[in-house]
Amino acid sequence: MCQHTLVSFNINGIRAAFRKGLKEWISEYGPDFIGLQETKAWKEQLKESEFSLENYHFYLSQCHRKGYSGVGVYCKEKPLEVMYDFFDDPLFDCEGRVIFLRFAHYIVLNVYFPNGVSGKERLAYKMAFYAKFLEKVLALIQTGEKVIVMGDVNTAHTPIDLSRPKENMKNSGFLPEERAWIDDFLGIGMIDTYRYFFPDKTEVYSWWDLKTAARERNVGWRIDYIFSSENLRSALAGAEVLSHVPGSDHCPVELKLQIS
């Protein structure tokens, strides 16, 4: 048996995160795979000497627009396949929100899902992205693939996943249609791995508003997830929300797998 540690972390800018010690944290903590969201950089802006990590392969999906969106991956195992145009549709691929990586034992999708807070048009885009993503993952599951989906989903699923559910019922991130999508995603055979181990645990969050110093008061939202397909259930070995890790308005979330 071999243990794999996978981490997801919205870093709110890779260059800023490296200045705050992200490189040192990854090297010291040593996950086998870390998916980063909201990298906000093009590869040509990242000097190899500064952003390469010993024993890790690096992959970056960038938005067509500088300083916005984007996801990145550091992984110890070299993937068998890497795909950046997951949707094969410029409407959804243009913002660099997904990296697909195939490994020997599973597929990982590192995703920065859209935020719907800026208005009706952006919420409609978020819901369309959700629908298309579910369709694509369902197709993978139906062919027997073992799938891990990690990232900033930008939605809290249930009332125990945010500090103030009643006050946020009409706000994007906790709207009924957004929460219903997570129900549907679990319904196709995906597991919220944190809730698999801690179904009723409260006051555990992965994002806090910087402007109101909400982290110090733990007034937060659990909007960062690692999901696994049902055919990986027997490999699930542990999950954590690493709320003590600084450097962003989010914190990392973790999944441990035991692979035979």
Q: How many CA atoms lie within 13 A of 203 on its CB side?
A: 3
SS3 category, 47: coil
Which member of 32, 85, 88, 152 is catalytic? Answer: 152
Is residue 83 within 8 A of residue 100, CB to CB? The reply is yes
Q: Examine the residue annotation and report whether 152 is marked as an active-site residue of this protein.
A: yes
For the chain, what is the HEC assignment? CEEEEEEEEECCCHHHHHHCCHHHHHHHHCCCEEEEECCCCCHHHCCHHHHCCCCCEEEEECCCCCCCCCEEEEECCCCCEEECCCCCCHHHHCCCCEEEEECCCCEEEEEECCCCCCCHHHHHHHHHHHHHHHHHHHHHHHCCCCEEEEEECCCCCCHHHECCCHHHCCCCCCCHHHHHHHHHHHHCCEEEHHHHHCCCCCCCCCEECCCCCHHHHCCEECCEEEEEEHHHHHHEEEEEECCCCCCCCECCEEEEEEEC
Is residue 70 within 8 A of residue 84, CB to CB? The reply is no
**Cα-trace Rg, the chain:** 17
- Give the active site residues: 152
